[in-house]
């Protein structure tokens, strides 16, 4: 039998909420057990979408970089953007996708700082796209349980 990770997390969360938490005292320890179950439920949800979200986000950032090139006045930044825009995912391990996302987000910050310093319509369009993607990224990261 091959245990499905999502199912294992679901069984653990349900067991903690239904079987363990009601029998734990004092109440703050009971709340801790319940919170752990909620976290397992959130991990289960994130596990299902983790690679897709990172790949979509990385692609969106690379698209911004490619489209921003004409608005970028700094040659060194333009070269960094061109290199990043030309890359694609070759390693689908979550740690590799996270490392790529971290590097792309750092470059996004550099781009944002740069276009904020420019007085052009093209720079405003890039800035607008950056804010649109940051908003979309926040939406992608939402958990169905909401804040807890």
* Res 142: pLDDT: 85
Asked if 33 and 21 count as a contact pair (C-beta separation under 8 A), the reply is: yes
Helix locations, 25-74, DSSP H = 27-68
Q: What is the pTM of this model?
A: 0.81
* Res 52: pLDDT: 93
Longest dimension (CA), the chain: 64
* Res 143: pLDDT: 82
Is the pLDDT score of 48 beyond 90? Answer: no
The pair of structure tokens assigned to 134 is 């940051």
62-75 tens-digit pLDDT = 999 999 999 999 99
* Res 115: pLDDT: 98
Question: pLDDT band at residue 146, thresholds of 50, 70 and 90?
Answer: low
DSSP 69: G
Q: What is the chain's length?
A: 148
* Rounded mean pLDDT, 96-118: 97
Question: pLDDT band at residue 117, thresholds of 50, 70 and 90?
Answer: very high
Contacts of 55 (CB under 8 A, 6+ apart): 89, 92, 97
Asked if 109 and 130 count as a contact pair (C-beta separation under 8 A), the reply is: no
Distance CA 8, CA 3 (A): 7
Question: pLDDT band at residue 94, thresholds of 50, 70 and 90?
Answer: very high
Question: pLDDT band at residue 141, thresholds of 50, 70 and 90?
Answer: confident
| Least confidently predicted of 4-8, 97-101, 114-118 | 4-8
Q: What are the boundaries of each domain within the chain?
A: 5-141
């Amino acid at each position: 039998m091959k245990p499905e990770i999502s199912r294992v997390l679901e069984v653990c969360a349900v067991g903690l909420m239904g079987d363990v938490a009601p029998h734990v005292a004092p109440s703050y320890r009971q709340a801790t057990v319940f919170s752990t179950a909620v976290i397992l439920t959130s991990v289960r949800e994130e596990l299902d979408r983790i690679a897709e979200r990172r790949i979509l986000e990385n692609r969106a950032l690379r698209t911004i970089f490619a489209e921003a090139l004409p608005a970028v006045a700094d040659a060194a930044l333009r070269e960094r953007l061109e290199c990043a825009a030309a890359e694609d995912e070759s390693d689908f391990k979550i740690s590799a996708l996270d490392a790529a996302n971290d590097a792309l987000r750092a470059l996004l910050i550099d781009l944002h700082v740069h276009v904020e310093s420019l007085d052009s319509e093209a720079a405003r369009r890039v800035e607008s796209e950056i804010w649109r993607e940051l908003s979309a990224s926040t939406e992608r990261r939402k958990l169905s349980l909401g804040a807890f």
